[in-house]
């Protein structure tokens, strides 16, 4: 089943995108700062969400990990 049709998998993909973008922006800040517009700008926006809402994002990651652990 595709992640587009499974809501939990879609949320997991979005959380991983936010966490990965925030990590890449922390390590290589110029990589995303130069590309704020267009399709690559999505990664810059996800990095901003990950930086500004990091306690909530980390809580969501823990909850998603617990739900995957309990589901299996």
pLDDT means per 10 residues, the chain with 72 residues, are 71 88 88 78 88 85 81 61
pLDDT computed for residue 57 by the predictor: 85
Q: The whole model's pTM is what?
A: 0.78
pLDDT computed for residue 72 by the predictor: 57
Query: Whats the size of the chain, residue-wise?
Result: 72
Contacts with 48 (C-beta within 8 Å, 6 or more apart), sequence order:
none
pLDDT computed for residue 2 by the predictor: 60
Angle in degrees, 0-180, between the axes of helices 41-52 and 54-71, rounded to the nearest 10: 90
Task: Name the nearest CA neighbour of 33 among 41, 16, 46, 14.
Answer: 41
């Amino acid at each position: 089943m595709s992640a587009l049709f499974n809501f939990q998998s879609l949320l997991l993909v979005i959380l991983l995108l936010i966490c990965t973008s925030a990590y890449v922006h922390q390590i290589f800040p110029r990589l995303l700062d130069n590309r704020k517009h267009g399709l690559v700008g999505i990664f810059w926006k996800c990095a901003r969400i990950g930086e500004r809402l990091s306690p909530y994002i980390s809580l969501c990651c823990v909850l998603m990990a617990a739900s995957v652990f309990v589901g299996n």
